Amino acid sequence: MRVIRAETAGFCLGVSLALQRLEREHALSGKLGGRLITLGPVIHNPLLMAHYTQSGVICDDAPRDLRPGDRVLIRAHGIPREVEAALRESGATIADATCPKVKKARSAIGRAHAAGSMLLLFGEPDHPEVRGLLSYAGPSAQVFADPEELRSLPLDPQADYFLAAQTTQSRAQFSRAGQEAARRLGREIPALDTICDATGARQREVSELCAEVASLVVVGGFNSGNTKRLAETAAAAGVFAVHVESPADFRPEDLRRIRASGSPVGLSAGASTPVEQIDAVQTFLEAAV
Ligand code: SF4
């Protein structure tokens, strides 16, 4: 079976920078003899993160027993403002791998909140980036995971609101959220442009690919929001979408359905998926389907 691979599949700039930082900090802590602790997974790729934890890097969401000589690395998704402040007060040596685009989104949200508006954030409530973004907008901020949820959020028609989105959300869905907010409040409200181009480019290419294929495989961490969104984009286009981390995740019925379609299979990957992981799935599909 022919595989059509998306050109944008794989690492974005923010992930590349974060991994370079992780590599540098790992080498440095090895040389200096201290521990390297990451505040949660640096990127959402369990296979790649397992490689680092097996070589001594500690992954901990809330380290309590920091020792002199420890280095703490902040993940690409960023961390809540108060967690970062407490960390800096602890005296730990901190390295920051927060993606520059996440930092830009946080600053824009912080400025709009300081000007007196209340945030309506389109994002996954439990995602670490979302927790970080919310921390820049005070207690009045509200989060919704789907434009439909905006219908039931408590909104005050007299208050000032602004919209923003988790960097990896879909532009089309965010635009629907804007329409729903305008319907609820009887007026349009400002929307910050916080969605990352890297995410948009991957989603656009998947949409284009869906015109050529009946099934599409997306490779990436099951905990990766942008990877999940690519599979959702394909499914919304009426294409059979399969999300895997490695060839071992294919179910026999997935392969049967891909084979039965008789068309080439599309292949894309999330922004935190290394090229070797994509190559492995491509080789498997070419041989197995
Ligand atoms: S998808 Fe965009 S925001 Fe997320 S890490 Fe990559 S460059 Fe940064």
Domains along the sequence of the chain with CATH: 3-11+197-288 (3.40.1010.20), 13-98 (3.40.50.11270), 101-185 (3.40.1010.20)
Question: In tens digits, what is the pLDDT along the chain, a chain of 289 residues?
Answer: 899 999 999 999 999 999 999 999 999 988 888 899 999 999 989 988 999 999 999 999 888 888 778 899 999 999 999 999 988 888 789 999 999 999 999 999 999 999 999 999 999 999 999 999 999 999 999 999 999 999 999 999 999 999 999 998 988 899 999 999 999 999 999 999 999 989 889 999 999 999 999 999 999 999 888 899 899 999 999 999 999 999 999 999 999 999 998 889 999 999 999 999 999 999 999 998 5
Residue 198 CB-half CA count within 13 A: 21
The Cα–Cα gap between 148 and 63 comes to: 37
* Closest-CA residue to 71 (of 91, 51, 98): 91
CB of 241 within 8 A of CB of 234? yes
Question: Among the atoms of ligand 1, which is closest to the Cα of residue 43?
Answer: 5
Whole-number Å distance, alpha carbon 172 to ligand 1 midpoint, is 18
Whole-number Å distance, alpha carbon 196 to ligand 1 midpoint, is 6
The Cα–Cα gap between 265 and 270 comes to: 17
245 has catalytic annotation? no
| Residue owning the nearest CA to atom 5 of ligand 1 | 14
Per-residue confidence (pLDDT) for residue 289, from 0 to 100: 56
Buried b (16+ CB within 10 A) or exposed e, 74-98: bbbbbbebebbeebeeeebbebebb
Whole-number Å distance, alpha carbon 157 to ligand 1 midpoint, is 34
Considering the candidates 84, 129, 180, 205, report the single residue annotated as catalytic.
129
DSSP at 148: G
- Return the number of other C-beta atoms located less than 10 Å from residue 163's C-beta: 24
CB of 75 within 8 A of CB of 127? no
Question: Among the atoms of ligand 1, which is closest to the Cα of residue 105?
Answer: 3
- Backbone angles phi and psi of 265, in degrees to 5: -105, 135
17 lines ligand 1 (CB under 6 A): no
